[in-house]
Amino acid sequence: MGILNSRPQWQVSSIPDLTGRVAIVTGGNSGLGFVTARELARKGAHVYMLCRQESRALAAIEKIKSELGPDTKTKIEFIKFDLQNLKSATKAAQAFMDRETRLDILVNNAGIMATPYELSPDGIEVQACNGTGHFALTIPLLPLLKQTAALPDSHVRIVNITSIGYQFARLGSPDFSSLEGLNQKSGSTWVRYGFSKLSNILFTNELQTRLIESGTTNIYCLSVHPGGVDTELSRGPIQYWPIFSLLWALLKYIVVTPEQGALTQLYAATAPEVEEKDLKAALLFPVAQLKRKKAIAEDKERKLGIQFWNLCEALVREKA
């Protein structure tokens, strides 16, 4: 592990001016996504909040505008996006492209954690949608991301939020070669969560490699573990495992606020140092620290990454 920033710690005040740039944040109506959308907008970016529930998104947008004050020219818009519906993901991408001619920052932030086994309307294990839903959103946006990267003074970033929980995947046998493998029930809900967070890193790795192979070398793809954060992500285990609520009551004394937790993904999305240090396909831990990936996530032979990519392509063709 190498520390990218010496103390003092990187802060939102370090975000450069983002006037003229366009950003997407999924799951932006609360928690880390809310803070990320707010701080990008504060620095002048035109932010699109992609969420499942319009009412909650619009309320969050109004809250951000209120917090930033009437003197700011805050630009935040809502687009419907359901992480567990592949057609919704591709429609969200098209809706965005119908409105915009550039995309500078894509933060794939939405997700669920440690929920009981259940299949989405597309027949995909719901936690696995943490990976498949963002794949379905990101791939249609690639031409626009590349187009933006070709412009002068461009700084294009794709940030995928993962978790240290990806290491739970090592307690099972991740198999992304088929829908049956993706939907496997082996292990606990935490192992399935680990599979989904592993897929976020594998997607980052594979996407970065394919961009470079296609000749696009100035788009930076990063995976970010935000740390232990007090957000609505805990709803899953608290709702279905009451004992977790007792544990969470204790953890609340050591977890950080969303404002603190969002720092690393804001760093990944905006800091010039990402390009200066050539942090392509990097895994970052709080705050803005480069973390060595475990072998399962490094995936040097690209076996799991290619499996996941090919499966997602097939699922999108069939379902979306």
Q: What is the CATH number of the domain that holds 107?
A: 3.40.50.720
Tell me, what's the pLDDT at 184?
A: 96
**pLDDT by residue (tens digit) across 261-294?**
999 999 999 999 999 999 999 999 999 999 999 9
Q: How far apart are CA 247 and CA 254, in angstroms?
A: 12
How many domains does one find in the chain?
1
Instruction: Report the candidate in 39, 46, 3 with the shortest Cα–Cα distance to residue 24.
Output: 46
Query: Which residues sit opposite 51 in a β-bridge?
Result: 80
75: annotated active-site residue:
no
Domain range spanning residue 205? Answer: 16-319
Find the Cα–Cα–Cα–Cα dihedral 74, 75, 76, 78, rounded to 10°: 150
Percent of the chain with pLDDT over 90: 84
Residue 10 lies in a domain: no
Residue 11 lies in a domain: no
Tell me, what's the pLDDT at 49?
A: 98
Q: How far apart are CA 74 and CA 130, in angstroms?
A: 29
Catalytic residue (one of 43, 91, 166, 193): 193
CB count in 10 Å sphere of residue 306: 17
Tell me, what's the pLDDT at 6?
A: 42
**pLDDT by residue (tens digit) across 219-261?**
999 999 999 876 554 454 445 555 445 454 555 556 778 899 9
**pLDDT by residue (tens digit) across 122-137?**
999 999 999 999 999 9
CB count in 10 Å sphere of residue 251: 13
**pLDDT by residue (tens digit) across 193-219?**
999 999 999 999 999 999 999 999 999
Residue 219 lies in a domain: yes
Catalytic residue (one of 197, 280, 293, 319): 197
Mean pLDDT of the chain: 91
Tell me, what's the pLDDT at 154?
A: 97
Residue 239 lies in a domain: yes
**pLDDT by residue (tens digit) across 54-101?**
999 999 999 999 999 977 789 999 999 999 999 999 999 999 999 999
Answer yes or no: are the C-beta atoms of 77 and 100 closer than 8 Å.
no
185: annotated active-site residue:
no
Percent of the chain with pLDDT over 70: 89
Tell me, what's the pLDDT at 228?
A: 82
